[in-house]
Structure 1
Amino acid sequence: MVRLKDKVAVVTGGARGLGLKITEAFVAEGARVVVAARGAAGAAEALAHLGERAVFAQADVRDAASVRSLLGVAADRFGGVDIMVANAGLSRPGPVAGLAFEDWSDALDTNLNGLFHCVKEAVPHLEKSGDGRIITLSSALGSRPTRGAASYCSTKAATEMFTRVVALELAPRGITVNCLSPGFIDEGMGKLLAANEAVWSQYAPKVALGRMGSGEEVGDAAVYLASATGSYVNGHVLEINGGLSW
């Protein structure tokens, strides 16, 4: 039995990396998904195998009006919105002493202001659902400092606290809010890390299971939080990291 039958989800940054894995998992469980990203390049090809259950809509999470329009597209196309996955984000690495303010601001604008817009604009739609779900995306670096990642660590730590606060505020409206916090995952930058044996050999001992996670494992966790199975989970940061020590 599919767990998200006829649910409608919006996944920002959903045409590649972990966002795509979440999109694929949702579609496999019966959901219809509107995938959003700033640029359309490669989106059609990435989603082609999912058929009509996944459609692309261009949107910039930094712009509240753009996010509002995105949710309107989802509601008009599929009759409502049940799930918002605020996945869009970026990293601007570099030590603080040499980090350009523009890079710092870009990380905050996308990772935090974008998150704010996605959550705020989704609330009216999710209230109508009666069974609304919001899933935010953090990272193992949201609770573990590392050199050269001040903007990313800071915004992901803030994401986790934002999730907990909003979970308290939206529970009376029938909306749960939870956060996924992946560790070393074999997607995107993680795939490059795994391919570099000299570097991965330094990190592998930190993972109790001794391996990287898969994008499918992150997708499965997202389905759990979005489905009735996770209906009593609220304000939780779910770590998907194989038992990561730091």
Structure 2
Amino acid sequence: MNSIYFLLNFFIGACLASHANVIYERWDTRNFIFSRSYCDNCKSTLSLLDEIPLFSYLLLKGKCKYCQKNIPRELFFFELVGGFAFCTINFSDKSQIITSIFIFSLLLIAISDYYQNEFDLIFIFPAIITSILFNRIYLFNWIEWLSFLPVLIVLSIYSFKQKMGLGDLLIYVLISTYFTPTFANLTLLFAALILIIIHFTENNLASYNYPFIPFIFIGLIISKFIFEQ
């Protein structure tokens, strides 16, 4: 039963990630709710089978079946990440629904940051609202404050010196207040470790500017799995 629950939520998460990608791509035209999906290259309307997250990419071997142009691998990656992000969410629980809204907002930001190294401020509003209304600051003990304030100060200094984006700092604060500082610090740790591994794997220059929020989002997924065990 747990396996079915996991797989169903994974599929829901992949669908949400797919729609988040559509929202990002069509944000300028606001044409992402009622319109049908189509190939960005040949503009052919996709069938229902073509829109199944992950599976359609694998079945089509990463190519549009109408024009044979490659489907961006990033779409498959974000659907996969989205599946893992939501697979432990209990969609019958009100508090978990709130968490899913928070996570979806961060996913949308991560997608935008990946492509543009920036994001539209409206993307972060759901996360800000949920963090304000359902924050856990009142539950922080002195250990939580000691783990939160030093990291906040360091990140603020880096942001002031423009060595990291203000958005990264804001994301850290939101995760800390909605979950806990311990959770947020672990998320940052995993994000940094993954970034270091990728940096040395790709042999990019030290000055290469990586979008950090996608790594934070992956770190959040790993942290959720650890905290929910």
| Higher helix content, 1 or 2 | 2
Q: TM-score, normalised by structure 1?
A: 0.30
| Higher strand content, 1 or 2 | 1
Q: TM-score, normalised by structure 2?
A: 0.31
* Bigger radius of gyration among the two: 2
